[in-house]
Amino acid sequence: MAISLVTGAAGFIGSHLAEALLSRGDRVIGIDHFNDYYDPLLKRKNLAHLSNHPSFDLVEADIQQVDWSTLLAGVDVIYHQAAQAGVRASWGHGFRTYTERNINATQILLEAAKESTHLKRLVFASSSSVYGDAETLPTHELICPQPVSPYGITKLAGERLCLLYHRNFGVPTTVLRYFTVYGPRQRPDMAFHKFFKAVIEGGSIAIYGDGQQTRDFTFVSDAVAANLAAADAPEAIGNVFNIGGGSRVALTEILATIEQIVGEPLRRDMLQSAIGDARHTAADVSKAQKLLGYQPQVTLTEGLTQEWVWLKSLYL
C-alpha cells in the first residue's frame, strides 16, 4: 500500500485530493493547522466523511512544528497543498503570514524531504498568480514570471525553492501552477462561493473593475487528477506545469451562466479594480498534456452546477 502525505488536507483542494487517494487504496496522512483564515468548522466539514476511514490519519499541526523525520518514514509521495491563500489580503501587515506559510514552511518541508530515503515525489501546489499580467495568452511555462501581488511572489519563491532542492539535493519535486480552481468546498473568500452565497442570502455581489477581466477556470477534480499524474509520471520530476480548465472566460459570461443555473438575476455592486489582480489569465496546458496525460474533463457549466448544489447543502 502506497503512503501519501497531504499538507493542507482539510482545505478545498487538499480534502478532495485526500479523498481520491483513499479511494484508490493509498494510506493517507493528512496535515492541517486549521488556522482561522476562514472558519475552521468549514475545514472540519471538508474532512468529516473521512474521519473514520481506516487508512486516514489526521495530524493537526503547523508544518513548521512537525517532527518530520518521524512523520515521513515510509511516505512515498508528498502533496504540498498547504498555503496562505488570497491575493488581496497579502498586502500590508498580513504579508508576514504569507512568508511564513508559503516560503518558510515549504523550506522546512524540503529540508525534511532531502533527508528521506524513501520519498518518490513531492508535488508542490503553485498558482497562476506567479505570471501576473502575462504578455502572452495562453501563457506557457517558459514565460518569465512577473507577479503583481505579494501572494504571487511567495508562491514563486516556493516554486524556486522546490527546484533548487531538486537540482542540489535530488529531491524529486514537481510544480503545478493552478489556474483559478473552483467547485464544491471552495473557500468562502473565493468569487464563485461569494456569488452563490449572495444568491442564497438575497445580497449583492462585488464586481471589481468592468467585468471584462478573464480567467481560466479549473474544476477541482481536474486539479486532483493533475496531482495524481504528476506523482506518477517519471518526466514530471524537476518540471513545472500549468494546470488549467481549457477555456478562458470573461467575468460577465460567468455571471450570465450563474444566473441561468440559479434561475434569477444577480445584484451587482460595481467597484474599482483590486490592486494585485491580474487582468487576464489563460493556461497553455500542452506540456501537461504531453508529459502528464492531463486533459480537463469538467466544463464550466457542469462545474458551476456542482458547486451550486454543494453550497445549497451548506447554507440552506
Which active-site residues does the annotation give?
151
Rounded Cα distance between 128 and 240, Å, is: 11
Task: Quote the cell numbers at residue 181.
Answer: 480552481
Rounded Cα distance between 151 and 302, Å, is: 29
Give the sign of the dihedral formed by CA 207, CA 209, CA 214, CA 217.
negative
Cβ distance 30 to 18 under 8 Å?
yes
**Which segments within 118-266 are labelled E, that is strand?**
121-127, 173-178, 181-182, 204-208, 214-216, 218-219, 240-243, 248-250
Helix (H), strand (E) at residue 271: strand 267-271
By C-alpha distance, which of 52, 49, 1 is closest to 25?
1
Q: What angle do CA 67, 71, 76 make, to 5 degrees?
A: 145
